């Protein structure tokens, strides 16, 4: 909120008008806060996203969700505000720390599981894995393109998340629990999502939605980008509090995105607490 307030001060100082435009150059945090500043300054001015992390290229720069955190929860203060344009140059990834790159891969793998079997298989291929780890431009463009295609396709059908857009939250309910309760900073967003996908995958296996082999394929892919899958110890009462405070609750019911196979997910509101609490022992 303090940084947002500083942006408003600059906006005032520089005399930004209704037809002015703000450029968000940076990662997802810069994109989210700039988008919110643009959404609210003078009741909304235009902005452009120039994402410089893998996560912001494949996810946060596209779709128009803008937000800042509240001490009680992540992204509680925000608005839907579409950028005028998104410019992506994969060259910027050359300077991105490896850990940040891998965290972005968690979102790419997410697209594979929720909607894009072909992308998932592309990522499983050893040759492609090596190329991606070495930041091969052609491979990067391929996975960034596929990811954005899936995201923009889903968002264009349901911009304000009344239905299908929620599938983009695969791994995010438990991911947000982990980010919240382990303190922001312990896990990067993508790392928390990786553990969230692991938990969702386990629940799906137990419910007979997908096979053990599919769960192992997801595990292996996450592991090959050094993403964590070990579930941290967390107080169980706090887990429920965070889940109930999450934006994914509707009519008092928690809703979970679970995989039915590689490339297919669905939304379930019949998951009893005991089914997931046991993973947090
Ligand atoms: N709006 C959405 O739809 C949406 C979707 C997913 C995530 N998010 C949000 O995005 C945020 C995470 O974004 P992120 O992963 O980009 O993290 P980030 O913005 O914190 O950037 C990660 C780090 O990399 C540095 N950095 C950025 N670009 C660099 C480059 N090219 N070279 C070297 N260093 C560079 C940054 O200074 C920062 O230290 C989270 O707050 C998450 O909630 C939003
Ligand atoms: Zn995410």
Q: Treating both helix axes as pointing N-terminal to C-terminal, what angle do 189-206 and 172-181 enclose, rounded to 10 degrees?
A: 130
Per DSSP, the three-state class of 48 is: strand
- State the CATH number of the domain containing residue 7: 3.40.50.1970
Query: Are the CB atoms for 206 and 279 separated by under 8 Å?
Result: no
Q: Which two tokens stand for residue 14?
A: 């520089």
pLDDT number for residue 66: 97
Domain closes at, from 62, 92, 122: 92
Domain match, 87 and 201 both: no
| Percent of the chain's residues with pLDDT above 90 | 77
Q: What share of the chain is helix, strand, coil (3-state, %, to 5)?
A: 55, 15, 30
pLDDT number for residue 247: 61
Q: Is the pLDDT of residue 73 over 90?
A: no
Counting DSSP H helices and E strands in the chain, the numbers are 12, 7
Q: Is the pLDDT of residue 236 over 90?
A: no
Mean of the per-residue pLDDT values of the chain? 93
H or E stretch including 238? helix 236-245
Q: Which two tokens stand for residue 151?
A: 């995201």
Look at the block and give the residue holding tokens 């929620």: 166
Q: Is the pLDDT of residue 274 over 90?
A: no
Domain match, 26 and 51 both: yes
167-219 residue pLDDT tens:
999 999 999 899 888 876 789 999 999 999 999 999 999 999 999 999 999 99
pLDDT number for residue 277: 85
- Domain encompassing residue 8: 2-92
Question: Best of 25, 27, 248 to mutate for ligand 1, by most ligand atoms within 8 A of CB?
Answer: 27
- State the CATH number of the domain containing residue 253: 1.20.1090.10
pLDDT number for residue 51: 98
Question: Best of 38, 60, 80, 193 to mutate for ligand 1, by most ligand atoms within 8 A of CB?
Answer: 60
Nearest CA to ligand 1 atom 12: 28
Distance from the alpha carbon of residue 151 to the mean position of ligand 1, in angstroms: 17
Distance from the alpha carbon of residue 29 to the mean position of ligand 2, in angstroms: 12
Report the largest interatomic distance among the alpha carbons of the chain, rounded to a whole angstrom.
59
Torsion of CA 254, 255, 261, 264, to 10 degrees: -170
Nearest CA to ligand 1 atom 27: 27
State the ligand closest to the CA atom of 78. 1
5-18 residue pLDDT tens:
999 999 999 999 99
Q: Is the pLDDT of residue 253 over 90?
A: no
Distance from the alpha carbon of residue 12 to the mean position of ligand 2, in angstroms: 32
Q: How many domains is the chain partitioned into structurally?
A: 2
State the ligand closest to the CA atom of 74. 1
């Amino acid at each position: 909120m303090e940084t947002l307030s500083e942006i408003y001060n600059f906006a005032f100082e520089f005399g930004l008008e209704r037809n002015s435009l703000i450029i968000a150059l940076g990662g997802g945090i810069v994109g989210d806060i700039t988008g919110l500043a643009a959404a609210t300054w003078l009741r909304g001015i235009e902005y452009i996203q120039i994402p410089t992390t893998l996560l912001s290229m494949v996810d946060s720069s596209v779709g128009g969700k803008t937000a800042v955190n509240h001490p009680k929860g992540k992204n509680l203060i925000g608005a839907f505000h579409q950028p005028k344009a998104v410019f992506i140059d994969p060259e910027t990834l050359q300077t991105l720390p490896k850990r940040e790159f891998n965290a972005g891969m968690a979102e790419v793998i997410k697209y594979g599981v929720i909607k894009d079997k072909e992308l998932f298989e592309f990522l499983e291929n050893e040759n492609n894995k090596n190329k991606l780890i070495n930041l091969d431009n052609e491979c990067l463009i391929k996975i960034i393109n596929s990811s954005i295609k899936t995201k923009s396709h889903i968002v264009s059908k349901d911009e304000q998340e009344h239905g299908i857009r929620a599938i983009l939250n695969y791994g995010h309910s438990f991911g947000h629990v982990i980010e919240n309760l382990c303190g922001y900073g312990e896990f990067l967003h993508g790392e928390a999502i990786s553990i969230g996908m692991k938990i969702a995958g386990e629940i799906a296996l137990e419910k007979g939605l997908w096979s053990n082999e599919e769960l192992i394929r997801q595990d292996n892919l996450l592991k090959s980008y050094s993403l964590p899958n070990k579930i941290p110890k967390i107080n169980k009462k706090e887990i429920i509090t965070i889940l109930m405070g999450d934006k994914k609750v509707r009519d008092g019911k928690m809703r979970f995105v679970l995989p039915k196979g590689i490339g297919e997910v669905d939304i379930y509101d019949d998951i009893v607490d005991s089914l997931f609490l046991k993973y947090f022992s």
